[in-house]
Amino acid sequence: MEVVIEIVGKIFDRLFDATWRQFGYLYRYKDTIKRLTDEAEKLEGTRQRVQAKIDAATTKGEDIFSDADKWIRSVDVITTKAKEFLKEEDKANKRCLKGMCIDPCSRYRFSKEAQGKIEAISNLQQEGHFESVSCKASPPGLITSSALSGNFPSRESITKEIMKSLKDENVSIIGICGMGGVGKTTLVTEISKRAIENKLFDKVAMAVVSQTQNYEKIQGEIASLLDMELPDKEGERGRARVLWNRIMKMHKLKQEREQKPELEKILIILDDVWEGIKLEKVGIPFGDDRRGCTIVLTSRIEDVCARMKAKIFKVGTLSKEESWGLFRDVAGGIVDNDDINPIARDVADECGGLPIALVTVAGELSNRKSMHEWIDAAQQLKKSAPTNIEGLDQIVFPCLKLSYNFLRYKEQQSVFLLCCLFPEDFDIPIELLMKYGMGLRLFQEVDAVDEARARTHKVVRILIASFLLIPGNDEQHVKMHDIVRDFAIKLSKDEQMFMVKAGIQSRNWPSADTFENVTGISLMYHDLREVPDGLEYPKLQALLLQQNSSLIVSNNFFEGMKDLKVLDLSSINFRSLPTSISLLTNVRTVCLNNCNFVNDSIDRIGKLTKLEILSLSSSNVREIPVEFSQLTSLRLFDLTNCKLLRRIPQNVISCLGKLEELYMKNSFMEWNFGSNARVIELQASPDDISLHFTLPTQFRFFDFSDRTKLRELPQGIVLGLKKLELVHMAIGSKKLDFEQGGDSSSNARVTELQALSKLTSLHIHIPGIRALPSDMPFQKLTNFVIGIGKSMAYNSCPSSRTLSLSDSITPQVDWFKNLLKKTENLYLCRIKGLNVVSPDFDDAVFNKLKSLTLAECEEIMYLLNTSKQTPDDVVFHNLEQLSLFGNPKLVAICKGELPDKSWSRVKAIDVNACHSMSSIVTSHLLQRLRSLQRFQAVNCEKVVYAFDFEELVIAKEETYKLLPMLQTLELTMLTKMEQVWKGDSQLMSLCNLKRLKLDYCLELKKLFSPALQQTLLSLEHLEVICCYKLEEIFGKIQEAQATASPSLGKLRFILMKSCTQLKTLFVPSIVESLVQLGTLKVQSCTTMKEVIADEKGEGAAKKKRIVFPNLYEIHLERLDSLICFCPYTTLEFPALEILRIDECPKMKMFGYGDQITPKLKKVLQGTKEHWFGSLNLTVQQLFKEEQQRKLVQRKSSPSNAASTYDYEWPPPTAEY
């Protein structure tokens, strides 16, 4: 009874309060109207004070904060409404004896409406107490904030990241860097506004630093914006001390004023920083003393931000869509004209996303209605000659000239200008910049090619950090922004007298009154057909004509350019080299890459005695002329991929005593072995071996009886057989071809390399171990790719240390052992007698290796065997890539204990056709693979476990998990594999696994345990094919576990195919995690009855709807037993648009209840589309039609054909 009384009492109180409040509108009518009048007058007074502040700031040219503007507009709206209301109320009073006889309804309405306006006015009154309404405006000439603030996704995303960092107390300095004109100042101005609006800082001060740092000016600007006064009589140091102390004390003033134990937070923005500014010299607290002071600086030089230990944010150019949006906003509606629009878009594209260029060019063309003016502008920009576009010269180019002038060294400016010689958007090889730079003597105090290469990379890095260049497609290339290139071309023409017409596909030589002062010509990537005769180029230093394949160069063309230093004629089809090329006695760099010499005559190059760099890469040269022995200044000789090269005369190589780099990969291999005839391996495939050697005899046919042992032919066998032209022999599937050549004794010998004492880089292939001399001058080698033996199946990067040994035993010469210690990439293929790696090689080699490949080593059992003796030192410490192919006796990668940190950097392991392994990775190795990211195993017949760590014991205090970095796992044709991982799954963490693929793993029954499943935080792609015994993908997770971790939350793609024992795929607790799943394909799983099973019982499942928020595509194909997708609960597919159901004969409905599919409008079956109003109705109708079809079929043909599926067994043999 007491409870009832209490409830009734509360109801009465609430009813009384509500009634009294409504009654109050009637009896407090006059007081309410008077209060509204008074509050409106107060608000008007506050507005006048705020407006005065805004007017004063506007007079100073400052930017007004958006929240102040918004407040003024809101006040104007509410004030206007209040005045109109009071005017209406006054009229009502006059009509009814000053309100005495106003009817109760009107009285109630006026009073209630007035009360609402009073509350709105009071709120605005409280918001109107602005400490500051403005900040310092952007410097003149920069892009206005309205152009970039928050309008573009690229700018909004970086703004959010910077705002997030401003909230981080651990971040004291933020650096915003980017090329000139990209909008850094605009961005930082927007950030300062948001910082004030969001109350992240109490005060914001901004100072422009510029190239010539004036510390007194910087101090003054900061002090002024912080409402400080600095003493005029104090020097720079004294002013800095005063400013420092003043900022440090500002938080105390806030504590006293607001009685809050908080620091007054100050944001100081230093704009346009060119060199590392000394903060203590300005008087800005930093580091541990900053006490609420955060610094943001902008710079065109990334290294400046790095030196000041700033958290760096790079501002890039705008995307194509953003560029067009900005261009259209500035140019106006004229660009929507049907005729002008496509041209305007071309013009915008040529600005390359650089905001200052977009604004300048669009502003210049904004009032131009003539299509011809737009066409002219587009053509100028495409030709990189925008001389008549007003604004580029006055605004954009001077902005870039500042960055150019600030480069510290002449070589940096010179390399920058070299980059403009290449076509627009060209991926410029840094190696080519080095070759040109050496020829032009751009690098000071550089004495060697590798030093020049290092210097070039350093200069390029500086230019990228200065945002004058942009990174290329890889580390060996660089690019130049289109507008920056236009500027560089103009600058090179004015300062260096360059003529640049690269990549414009002209057939004619450019016309000019004279070429007397021209120092560089770039007509590369044209369609030139001929060159003029009789022209004089007395000052020409560089001539770049590559990629003009049809160009005909006359014999006297080079007569007028005797001071030429760099010549590039690559990718030109020469009938013969012009005779006048021999007059270029001062040339230092010549590039003839990918040239087709019809007459195969390049002997004229031998007269270029000052030549230092000669590149014939990928050319069809067949013979190196003996005249090349005169190239005694040659330092780099590139014969890479000269696959037709058969002859290098003896003693030519040994004459090149200054040679530092020799590149002969995929090139000459017909070395003269001295006591043996010339033997060469042309094809590396073990099933197709071709041998070529010189037969200077008269015989035309030759027969060998003991062919199975044929490897080399003693020279005496073929003496006198002068007419023998060709021998072709087949030994099983092996082919042996012998063709006539020159005298083998006249060809180069490997021993000639002994004369090259300065050699630092060598790429070479020697086809036989017997050709190896006992001593080689390889002590200085820092870059090498050396292949010994028949196999050439190795890769290399431009500056690698690669050694390949095949079809041989391990060489025992000292120079080989020493070279092995430097090797980073080691390839061992078909090595005789190798059953374990460690006894054959010195342990010192292991910690240099980054990549190790073992292929077809028939006797190897272990890569490393430490079962009898554990190494004292770490082994394979730097190894990143391990590949094992076709090693039939390999039992395990490692046997025995391993020292700590061994194998700790391995990122990828590939195992293929190693048929003696039962477990690929065992306990001792697994716990060392802390960096493993990719694991792939294919066609290993005896593998039962991919990862076996059952014997692994980890101490209780050890928190380390196994495989924490694994991202990709692919297991294919492991036909006897029963488990992927054997051992306690709680010791593992697959938190970084993104891709998992299983294919033809016939004995596999289960995949993830509940504990392991909980670690799948990053899995995106799951593919399981032809795992016929697989019964379970995802184990059942306890409710407590399900809420502990968001596993499977990133899974986007699932394919289940031909898993014939898989009866279900998911349970509801798993589905709840699949928030990113976009594609689900289930095919040929013949026993699957439902995709989603009920793990708790039918009644429990029906209480909760299952949602697939991002599932876009579902394929259900050849599922003989499938009854429905989910029979227990309603499903919701808000994103589903593609649903294919093929050959699911028992599927009567899609799921329980109504299926919510707002975007689905059809169900695909074969080539047809079906839809009958809803998903369930459509599936039901398809089932009925299928039943009718079968009924008709049975009547016409009693015997039904057997079902066929799209998988086959046995699978095709895997190749490695």
Give the tens place of pLDDT for each residue, 324-361.
888 888 788 877 888 888 888 888 887 877 787 777 77
Looking at residue 576, what is its pLDDT?
Answer: 83
Find which of 202-216, 357-371, 732-746, 929-943 is predicted with most confidence, using mean pLDDT. 929-943
**What percent of the chain shows pLDDT beyond 90?**
30
Closest Cα partner for 865 from 885, 902, 827, 839?
A: 839
Contact 1092, 1116 (CB under 8 A): no
CB atoms within 10 A of CB 783: 20
**Rounded Cα gap, residues 1013 and 1008, in angstroms:** 5
Spell 654-669 as b/e; 16+ CB within 10 A means b: bbbeebbbbbbbbbbb
Instruction: Tell the burial category of 603 from Cβ atoms under 10 Å away from its Cβ (0-12, 13-18, 19+).
Output: middle
Instruction: Tell the burial category of 1023 from Cβ atoms under 10 Å away from its Cβ (0-12, 13-18, 19+).
Output: middle
- Span 482-495, mean pLDDT? 83
Closest Cα partner for 413 from 451, 463, 483?
A: 463
Looking at residue 771, what is its pLDDT?
Answer: 62
How many CA within 13 A on the CB side of residue 491?
Answer: 23
Contact 315, 184 (CB under 8 A): yes
- Span 298-319, mean pLDDT? 86
pLDDT tens-digit readout, 947-972: 998 888 766 656 678 999 999 999 99
Orientation of helix 410-419 relative to helix 449-465, angle to 10°: 80
**Rounded Cα gap, residues 531 and 521, in angstroms:** 13
Q: How confident is the model at residue 61 (pLDDT cuts 50, 70, 90)?
A: low
Q: What are phi and psi of 134, to 5 degrees?
A: -155, 170
- Span 455-475, mean pLDDT? 88
3-state secondary structure of 18: helix
Closest Cα partner for 253 from 280, 226, 234?
A: 226
Looking at residue 147, what is its pLDDT?
Answer: 46
Question: Which structure tokens are listed for 8?
Answer: 């009734």
Q: Would you state the torsion angle of the CA atoms of residues 1149, 1151, 1154, 1155, taken in this order, to the nearest 10 degrees?
A: -100
Question: Which structure tokens are listed for 239?
Answer: 């002013």
**Rounded Cα gap, residues 663 and 800, in angstroms:** 13
More confident residue, 314 or 738: 314
The residue type found at 801 is R
- Span 994-1017, mean pLDDT? 92
Q: How far is CA 530 from the centre of its chain?
A: 42
3-state secondary structure of 504: coil
pLDDT at 29 over 50: yes
**Rounded Cα gap, residues 629 and 1159, in angstroms:** 76
Mean pLDDT of the chain: 79
More confident residue, 673 or 218: 218
Q: How confident is the model at residue 715 (pLDDT cuts 50, 70, 90)?
A: very low
- Span 1075-1082, mean pLDDT? 95
Q: How confident is the model at residue 25 (pLDDT cuts 50, 70, 90)?
A: low
Contact 910, 936 (CB under 8 A): yes
**Rounded Cα gap, residues 195 and 167, in angstroms:** 10
DSSP-derived letter for residue 103 is -
CA dihedral for 547, 548, 550, 553, sign (positive or negative): negative
**What percent of the chain shows pLDDT beyond 70?**
79
CA dihedral for 21, 26, 31, 32, sign (positive or negative): positive
Looking at residue 680, what is its pLDDT?
Answer: 38
**Rounded Cα gap, residues 1059 and 1029, in angstroms:** 7
1210 preceded by cis ω (within 30°)? yes
Radius of gyration of the chain (CA): 40
Q: How confident is the model at residue 735 (pLDDT cuts 50, 70, 90)?
A: very low
Question: Which structure tokens are listed for 1069?
Answer: 């607790």
Of 17-31, 61-75, 584-598, 828-842, the range with the lowest mean pLDDT is 17-31
Closest Cα partner for 826 from 856, 798, 848, 858?
A: 848
**In terms of pTM, does the model score above 0.85?**
no
- Span 586-601, mean pLDDT? 88
The residue type found at 212 is T
Spell 1149-1166 as b/e; 16+ CB within 10 A means b: bbbbeebbbeebeebebe
- Span 264-271, mean pLDDT? 83
DSSP-derived letter for residue 577 is -
Contact 1140, 1164 (CB under 8 A): yes
Spell 197-232 as b/e; 16+ CB within 10 A means b: eeebbbbbbbbbbeeebebeebbbbbbebbebebee
**Rounded Cα gap, residues 220 and 920, in angstroms:** 70
pLDDT at 840 over 70: no
Closest Cα partner for 65 from 194, 234, 201?
A: 194
Q: How confident is the model at residue 255 (pLDDT cuts 50, 70, 90)?
A: very low
| 422 Cβ contact list (under 8 Å, min separation 6) | 428, 480, 502, 503, 522, 524
Residue showing tokens 């109003």: 1173
pLDDT at 761 over 50: yes
3-state secondary structure of 566: strand
**Rounded Cα gap, residues 51 and 68, in angstroms:** 9
Looking at residue 95, what is its pLDDT?
Answer: 59
Looking at residue 594, what is its pLDDT?
Answer: 93
Find which of 151-165, 669-683, 902-916 is predicted with most confidence, using mean pLDDT. 902-916
Spell 1116-1147 as b/e; 16+ CB within 10 A means b: bbbbbebebbbbbbbbbbebbeebbbebbeeb
Strands (E) located in 556-667: 566-568, 573-574, 589-591, 596-597, 613-615, 636-638, 661-663
Q: 524-529 — which CB contacts under 8 Å span 24+ positions?
A: 524/421, 524/422, 524/423, 524/548, 524/568, 525/423, 526/501, 526/502
Strands (E) located in 915-1029: 919-922, 934-938, 945-948, 968-972, 979-982, 995-999, 1006-1008, 1021-1025
Contact 1071, 1092 (CB under 8 A): yes
pLDDT at 248 over 80: no
Give the Cα-Cα-Cα angle 629, 632, 635 (nearest 5 degrees). 115
Instruction: Tell the burial category of 612 from Cβ atoms under 10 Å away from its Cβ (0-12, 13-18, 19+).
Output: buried
**End-to-end Cα spacing for the chain:** 87
Residue showing tokens 């914006």: 225
Beta-sheet pairing, 691-692 with 680-681: antiparallel
CB atoms within 10 A of CB 921: 26
Closest Cα partner for 1022 from 991, 999, 1046?
A: 999
**Rounded Cα gap, residues 702 and 210, in angstroms:** 83
- Span 574-586, mean pLDDT? 90
Closest Cα partner for 523 from 543, 538, 551?
A: 543
Closest Cα partner for 892 from 924, 862, 852, 860?
A: 862
